[in-house]
Structure 1
Amino acid sequence: MKTKVTAVFDIGRTNKKFFLFDSGFQEVHREYERFDEITDEDGYPTENLTALENWAKEVFDKILEISEYEITALNFSCYGASLVHVDENGKSLTPLYNYMKPLKDGIYDSFYNKYGPENEISRVTGSPRLGMLNTGMHLYWLKYEKPEVFEKIKYSLHLPQYLSYLFTGVPVSEYTSIGCHTLLWDYEKNDYHVWVYQERINQKLPPIVSSRKTIPINYKGKTIQMGVGIHDSSSALLPYIRSISKPFILVSTGTWSISINPFNSSMLTLKEIENNSLFNMRIDGSPVKVSRLFLGNEYKLQIKTLSKYFTVSEDYHKTVKFDQGIFFEIIKDFVHMFKWSSIASDDMPEETKIPYDKFEHAYHQLMLELVLLQEKSIRAAIGNEKIKRLYIDGGFSDNEIFIQLLSQYLGDMKLSTTDASLGSALGAALVISDTLLEPKFLKKNYALKKYRTLIFN
């Protein structure tokens, strides 16, 4: 008898993944792929969209032929801030522009002169000025820099919805992609911002549907419920939302450390926006307060420098364990020693000065300074809410020193770590299911570990 499964494409910037989950949301199959980047017409690195399309179709068609599985549903979790523009024949008109592609200052000046002030637009859209990371600005740029292309666009689809479109032929927009720092959505009016209508951008965006929506498609003789896709950050939040009843903060660590507050009850303030806060969106259209920190990137840069300074291998830091004695030495006469390369901080010195003669001491110093930044970012996400639970997933959840120090400086919160390597894929499977999760779901599926605050004597 065939095992009924939900299939999910989980598309990151680096890894392209395909999963099958059984009815209990246990992973039963996975495939990984990577593609070399290509360049757009300006020579800027970008995703190889054609390779991604071909791989997705090949993998899915192959799995359909495997006799042990019956695919009942398919969904898509993808990185955000990326648009595919298609013409009336469904053919893509441009490369999948990289969201880091720089924009000329003139584009910003033109936009904010028309629709400013910038602070007010950022406040109501929950979207600081982020260049192409604001997909609304991406569309504005395209309209005025490449008008001949813009006029040919039938639909502009965020990447999760484009992959869904590949399989269904049905163009849609979806809340979590629209609401993630796009500059498109007015959170006060719960509608597109007025500038979207004035620029006729709304005419390029398909109708908005619920993230839960599925479309029954006869695919090669099999009826499959096709999801409409979901933004990966919003998807990764779902298993927590559905299995935890009390308010919490989720800190997803990696290149970026994202502190996510799904229990926000107010609009962002100008000060919060200046301090790197923004809005994502839940599947019901409500705002999710997010505070960003370039933690993993900075960590990688500083480790490279420290390893060279102490003439140790770049993997040596993985062997360092938390040492209470070293910690006491550091905090006794604490001063900030690291000048950050990719983070702005009022406390950092003009240049890095390391007085220690051992890597272990310098590493503890580095981790303490990063944890102090992380604490500030977490408290920014909390704001005035009464939230006492904190979940850490991603790369830093395995860093003993990071977790021990964070539990010390956030002693008023209950801290737990999870192994959420499947988070965004699992969320994409959950969102198109009506299954209720039991309270122990995270413990069973996510290797949940609870930490007690250290008491230093």
Structure 2
Amino acid sequence: MKDELTLVIDIGKSHAKLLMFNDAGEVVERHGRDNRSVPSALGYPALDVQGLEDWMSHTLGASPNTVRCSRVMTSTHGAALVGLDETGLAWAPLDYEFDALAKHPVWAREFEDAADAFAQTLSPDLPAGLNAARQLFYVQHAHPQAWQRTRHLLPYPQYWAWRLCGERASEVSSLGCHTHLWLPQAGEFSQLASRQGWAALFAPVRSAWEVLGTVRPQVSQTWGLPPHCVVHAGVHDSNACLARYLESLNRDATTSTALTVVSSGTWTVLMAPGASTQGLQAERDMLANVDVLGRATPTARFMGGREFECLLAGADPEAGSLEDLQSLISGAVMALPSFAAHGGPFRGREGSIRCGSKAFADAGSAGLAAGQRAALAALYCAQTTAWLVERLWSGSALPRTVLVEGPLARNALYLGALQGLMPAARCLVSLDPVEGTARGAWMLSRWGQSTAADVMPVEALSVAGLGEYHAAWQRALV
């Protein structure tokens, strides 16, 4: 029907959103809330599934548009798994920032010995619970009674699909998200997952766009969704962002370009469909994600949102100007990684602000003005992005195209600096007012219906000495 809407549930690590789209792809209504972990009954920090459900039920129940929603698609962050017993949660899903095995060195060594090699999983060893298999290993060993109740395992997007319609499913973009559970090139579970008995517990694999069923009667009543509302399987958020470009890539297969899609948020994730997996460096947090079609997608990432916020040190993100950027470059003021504890190509390094020959622990103590701090945050993220693009496409002679989505797509200094750092590349920015993860999720709910992405070329900022500055930054990384 013409007035029907699509509900997109978009759960990121720091923020959760509800968006209602009409058939033209316009957002009719949207809501958001912060997303934080909560203490679990078993003593570890857990994902706030009950808080999110209460918020969604209350918000949708109060909206007059909910009854118009004829379909639901969920997109969530990765590194999150849910165990179910016969009636519901067998244990609260772990927050991936919890280092579950840190206090259990024997278990940690057992896990490392049992894991498949990087050559098979293309999943690097990451800190805390970013390899979701570590979470399962922890629950299995630390909480055996909870594990014994576990009858099914679901990736996080499919948990919400199950909660809505009662049908259990898994999906490859979440299974293949640096979990150690999946072999991207073989399209099957890892030996670790099989030997530990986890593979047998995972629900059947379905495509992200597949309809699993209609909403449960109780959900229809409490959330306000109509009984005929269908529920799609759901997708990993960064792969939702990539999915919107896959069809156009297939249509334009004769065009030779090295495309990198930059999906920004808490994590800045760079995905290079078509790049070789041979050059992936595990120690640089480079990996292969799995796209919604099941294909290995070379990926690199850094915690750009967290690092940007750290470098701002309380400044307005929009406070920076071209003059501020030029003052940083002329004064050889640079941010050297890393400013986030989890993941990224420079993990293990302590971030610092270098002002000529002096080094400071953070932008605040360096005495930088608010505008300079905002410019430095944008420049640092642009430098890290450019550095990673070249490594993803190392050895390829194809011309580079970089397409930026998310919050960084609205930062003029970041965009202009990125194009300036990559003068031979074509940098594009999404003009879509809707963030890429939510737009990609909406498009997946109508997979196969061709829709063009609205993008615009980026103009390089005119900044003297940028090339020399970036070369010095790279030398400082050695």
TM-score by length of 2: 0.80
Instruction: Decide whether the 8 Å contact of 2:288 with 2:296 is kept in 1.
Output: yes
Partner of 1:422: 435
Residue 417 of structure 1 aligns to a residue whose secondary structure is strand
Name which of 415, 422, 431 aligns with 1:410. Answer: 422
> Residue 450 of structure 1 aligns to which amino acid in structure 2?
P
In structure 1, C-alpha distance between the alignment counterparts of 2:14 and 2:373, rounded to whole Å: 31
Instruction: Decide whether the 8 Å contact of 1:230 with 1:428 is kept in 2.
Output: yes
Name which of 286, 289, 293 aligns with 1:280. Answer: 289
Name which of 445, 449, 452 aligns with 2:459. Answer: 452
Partner of 2:73: 75
Q: CA deviation at 1:424?
A: 1.6
Quickly say closer, same or farther: Cα 1:215–1:362, change in 2 above 3 A: closer
Q: CA deviation at 1:419?
A: 4.7
Query: Residue by residue, what CA displacement relative to the aligned partner does 1:259-314 show, whole Å, maximum 9, x if unpaired?
Result: 11122343454xx111121122111110121111233322322331xxxxxxxxx3
Residue 437 of structure 1 aligns to a residue whose secondary structure is coil
Quickly say closer, same or farther: Cα 1:384–1:108, change in 2 above 3 A: farther
Q: CA deviation at 1:390?
A: 1.0
Partner of 2:404: 392
Name which of 351, 359, 370 aligns with 1:351. Answer: 359
Instruction: Decide whether the 8 Å contact of 1:264 with 1:287 is kept in 2.
Output: no
Instruction: Decide whether the 8 Å contact of 2:19 with 2:27 is kept in 1.
Output: yes
Partner of 1:185: 182
Residue 72 of structure 1 aligns to a residue whose secondary structure is strand
Instruction: Decide whether the 8 Å contact of 2:267 with 2:301 is kept in 1.
Output: yes
Name which of 231, 241, 246 aligns with 1:236. Answer: 241
In structure 2, C-alpha distance between the alignment counterparts of 1:56 and 1:5, rounded to whole Å: 16
Residue 91 of structure 2 aligns to a residue whose secondary structure is coil
Query: Residue by residue, what CA displacement relative to the aligned partner does 1:122-176 show, whole Å, maximum 9, x if unpaired?
Result: 2321211223221222112222222222121111111110110012211111111
Instruction: Decide whether the 8 Å contact of 2:131 with 2:178 is kept in 1.
Output: yes
Name which of 305, 311, 327 aligns with 1:302. Answer: 311
Quickly say closer, same or farther: Cα 1:168–1:337, change in 2 above 3 A: closer
> Residue 273 of structure 2 aligns to which amino acid in structure 1?
P
Partner of 2:11: 11
Name which of 126, 141, 144 aligns with 2:122. Answer: 126
Quickly say closer, same or farther: Cα 1:73–1:237, change in 2 above 3 A: same
Query: Residue by residue, what CA displacement relative to the aligned partner does 1:97-127 show, whole Å, maximum 9, x if unpaired?
Result: 11111122332201223446xxxx2232121
In structure 2, C-alpha distance between the alignment counterparts of 1:346 and 1:45, rounded to whole Å: 26
Instruction: Decide whether the 8 Å contact of 1:123 with 1:273 is kept in 2.
Output: no
> Residue 19 of structure 1 aligns to which amino acid in structure 2?
L
Quickly say closer, same or farther: Cα 1:60–1:193, change in 2 above 3 A: same
Q: CA deviation at 1:398?
A: 2.7
Deviates more, 1:368-377 or 1:389-398: 368-377
Query: Residue by residue, what CA displacement relative to the aligned partner does 1:207-230 show, whole Å, maximum 9, x if unpaired?
Result: 111112113426547323210111
> Residue 174 of structure 2 aligns to which amino acid in structure 1?
S
Query: Residue by residue, what CA displacement relative to the aligned partner does 1:52-73 show, whole Å, maximum 9, x if unpaired?
Result: 233434555555x659x63322
Residue 293 of structure 2 aligns to a residue whose secondary structure is coil
Aligned alpha-carbon RMSD (Å): 3.2
Instruction: Decide whether the 8 Å contact of 1:40 with 1:95 is kept in 2.
Output: yes
Partner of 2:470: none
Q: CA deviation at 1:44?
A: 4.2
Deviates more, 1:358-367 or 1:231-240: 358-367
Name which of 178, 202, 206 aligns with 1:205. Answer: 202
> Residue 384 of structure 2 aligns to which amino acid in structure 1?
L
1:87 and 2:96 matched: no
Partner of 1:383: 394
Quickly say closer, same or farther: Cα 1:433–1:135, change in 2 above 3 A: same
In structure 1, C-alpha distance between the alignment counterparts of 2:36 and 2:135, rounded to whole Å: 23
In structure 2, C-alpha distance between the alignment counterparts of 1:185 and 1:36, rounded to whole Å: 27
1:50 and 2:50 matched: yes
In structure 1, C-alpha distance between the alignment counterparts of 2:380 and 2:227, rounded to whole Å: 55
Deviates more, 1:360-369 or 1:46-55: 360-369
In structure 1, C-alpha distance between the alignment counterparts of 2:446 and 2:138, rounded to whole Å: 38
Q: CA deviation at 1:374?
A: 2.6
Query: Residue by residue, what CA displacement relative to the aligned partner does 1:325-362 show, whole Å, maximum 9, x if unpaired?
Result: x63x7656857565744355699769329998866567
Quickly say closer, same or farther: Cα 1:8–1:373, change in 2 above 3 A: closer
In structure 1, C-alpha distance between the alignment counterparts of 2:146 and 2:153, rounded to whole Å: 12
Residue 7 of structure 1 aligns to a residue whose secondary structure is strand
Q: CA deviation at 1:194?
A: 1.3
Instruction: Decide whether the 8 Å contact of 1:249 with 1:387 is kept in 2.
Output: no
Partner of 1:308: none
Q: Identity rate of aligned residues, in percent?
A: 19
> Residue 269 of structure 2 aligns to which amino acid in structure 1?
I
Partner of 2:223: none
In structure 1, C-alpha distance between the alignment counterparts of 2:421 and 2:445, rounded to whole Å: 38
> Residue 23 of structure 1 aligns to which amino acid in structure 2?
D
> Residue 70 of structure 1 aligns to which amino acid in structure 2?
R
Instruction: Decide whether the 8 Å contact of 1:44 with 1:101 is kept in 2.
Output: yes
In structure 1, C-alpha distance between the alignment counterparts of 2:172 and 2:91, rounded to whole Å: 24
> Residue 267 of structure 2 aligns to which amino acid in structure 1?
W
Q: How does 1:318-357 map to 2 (within 5 A)?
A: 318-323=318-323, 327=326, 334=332, 336=334, 338=336, 340-342=338-340, 343-344=346-347, 351-352=359-360
In structure 2, C-alpha distance between the alignment counterparts of 1:35 and 1:217, rounded to whole Å: 27
Q: CA deviation at 1:442?
A: 2.6
Partner of 1:251: 262
Query: Residue by residue, what CA displacement relative to the aligned partner does 1:73-116 show, whole Å, maximum 9, x if unpaired?
Result: 21111122112211123x11212211111122332201223446
Q: CA deviation at 1:235?
A: 0.8
Quickly say closer, same or farther: Cα 1:363–1:81, change in 2 above 3 A: closer
Deviates more, 1:185-194 or 1:336-345: 336-345
> Residue 260 of structure 1 aligns to which amino acid in structure 2?
M
Query: Residue by residue, what CA displacement relative to the aligned partner does 1:179-236 show, whole Å, maximum 9, x if unpaired?
Result: 1011001124321111211111112111111112113426547323210111111112
Gaps of 5+ in 1: 305-313
In structure 2, C-alpha distance between the alignment counterparts of 1:392 and 1:35, rounded to whole Å: 24
Quickly say closer, same or farther: Cα 1:346–1:409, change in 2 above 3 A: farther
Gaps of 5+ in 2: 218-225, 341-345, 465-478
